[in-house]
């Protein structure tokens, strides 16, 4: 069963991160205390994450409500697998997402992944099991482990917002690519999940205009990529 870090644990991790990497001090100073981004776990949690991708928050909430209602509140691998693709589509899912729902459910039913005991696997093993399922990319697997299982040392380095916040923290002119971001996050072990939450919080505050970055180098190419790139898992 997932145990979500409490505010005191998060605060302690933030302090540890600043000691490990002083370049995070500005993000820390400009980002208020935050709660863990907790989501329902297991099969339902992963399917929900797939449904939410690449649509607005409002649309995702409406579609998921229709999915839950259409499945009579029983969002289980067996129920989803027994529901035809066309029926799932009638709830508002694209054919791709409906198919992915079947793929995830089939992986559980066939024993290729066990959502009831996923927490017994290491982070690396769990990511490998998840990405072996059609429709589940690395970013999805990593954020699932972080949000739905409360894992403390996961860093989804392919996340564009995290990459941009890392650029600001390092006062760099170039946004790191995924491989570079993974390497950069190594020094934050074993607090990388809190580092991700911190950078997301800072990024959001800047984008909402609550924090102004006066001295970060401009990166027109990075800004262009930020508006055109999207997750296509």
Q: Give the CA radius of gyration of the chain.
A: 19
Q: Which residues have C-beta within 8 Å of that of residue 47, sequence separation ≥ 6?
A: 75, 80, 101, 104, 105
**Residues 83-117: tens digit of each pLDDT:** 999 999 999 999 999 999 999 999 999 999 999 89
The residue-averaged pLDDT of 30-51 equals: 94
Calculate what percentage of the chain has a pLDDT beyond 70.
91
pLDDT over 80 (residue 2): no
Residue 54: predicted pLDDT:
84
- For residue 166, give both structure tokens: 């890392």
The residue-averaged pLDDT of 157-166 equals: 97
pLDDT over 70 (residue 22): yes
pLDDT over 60 (residue 211): yes
Structure confidence at residue 220 as a pLDDT band (50, 70, 90):
very low
Q: For residues 222 and 172, is the Cβ–Cβ distance under 8 A?
A: no
**Residues 172-204: tens digit of each pLDDT:** 999 999 999 999 999 999 999 999 999 999 999
Distance CA 180, CA 161 (A): 14
């Amino acid at each position: 069963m997932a145990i979500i870090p409490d505010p005191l644990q998060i605060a302690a991790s933030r302090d540890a991160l600043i000691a490990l990497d002083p370049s995070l001090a500005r993000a820390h100073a400009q980002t208020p205390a935050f709660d863990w981004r907790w989501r329902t776990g297991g099969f339902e949690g992963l399917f929900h994450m797939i449904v939410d991708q690449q649509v607005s928050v409002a649309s995702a909430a409406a579609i998921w409500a229709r999915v839950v209602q259409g499945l009579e509140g029983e969002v289980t691998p067996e129920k989803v697998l027994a529901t035809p693709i066309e029926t799932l589509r009638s709830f508002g899912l694209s054919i791709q997402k409906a198919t992915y729902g079947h793929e995830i459910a089939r992986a559980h039913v066939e024993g290729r992944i066990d959502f009831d005991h996923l927490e017994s696997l290491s982070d690396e093993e769990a990511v490998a099991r998840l990405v072996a399922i059609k429709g589940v990319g690395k970013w999805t697997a990593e954020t699932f482990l972080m949000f739905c299982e409360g894992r403390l040392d996961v860093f989804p380095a392919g996340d564009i917002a995290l990459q941009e916040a890392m650029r600001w923290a390092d006062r760099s002119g170039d946004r790191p690519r995924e491989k570079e971001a993974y390497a950069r996050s190594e020094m934050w072990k074993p607090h990388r999940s809190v580092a991700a939450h911190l950078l997301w919080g800072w990024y959001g505050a800047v984008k909402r205009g609550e924090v102004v970055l006066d001295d970060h180098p401009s990166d027109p190419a990075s800004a262009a990529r930020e508006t055109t790139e999207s997750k296509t898992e």
